């Protein structure tokens, strides 16, 4: 509810990023959240993936952007995942600047 409100009141120059933890139909749910909550980027992870999410030093995420770009990290240390999230956000912001 809060994320949807923030997305609805987003002004020019603002960006909105969401995170999704999904156990079933992850990509479909992430895409739905992207649209319904007016996110610029959604970072999806699944606790079902071996070695990812909670109680591990590694994770694997997928990216969904409002422009339709998608990407994934594969299993990697969480610190590396954090840097990849920043890189994806930078890519989204650069795309918004040029459009």
2-24 tens-digit pLDDT: 999 999 999 988 889 999 999 89
Residue 53 has pLDDT above 80, yes or no: no
CB 71 within 8 Å of CB 64: no
- Both tokens of 93, joined, read 């912001």
Place 79 in a pLDDT band, splitting at 50, 70 and 90: very high
pLDDT at 42: 97
Q: Which long-range contacts (CB under 8 A, 24 or more apart) does 75-82 make?
A: 75/49, 75/51
Per-domain residue ranges for the chain? 2-98
CATH topology of domain 2-98: Rossmann fold (3.40.50)
Mean pLDDT of the 70-79 span: 94
| 58-59 and 61-65 beta bridge pairing | unpaired
Mean pLDDT of the 30-57 span: 91
């Amino acid at each position: 509810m809060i994320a949807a409100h923030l997305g609805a009141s987003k002004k020019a120059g603002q960006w909105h990023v969401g995170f999704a933890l999904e156990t079933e139909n992850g990509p479909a749910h992430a895409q739905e959240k992207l649209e319904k909550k007016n996110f610029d980027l959604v970072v999806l992870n699944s606790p079902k993936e071996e070695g990812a999410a909670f109680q591990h030093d590694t994770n694997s995420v997928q990216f969904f952007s409002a422009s339709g770009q998608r990407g994934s990290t594969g299993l990697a240390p969480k610190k590396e995942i954090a840097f990849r999230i920043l890189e994806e956000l930078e890519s989204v912001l650069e795309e918004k600047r040029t459009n």
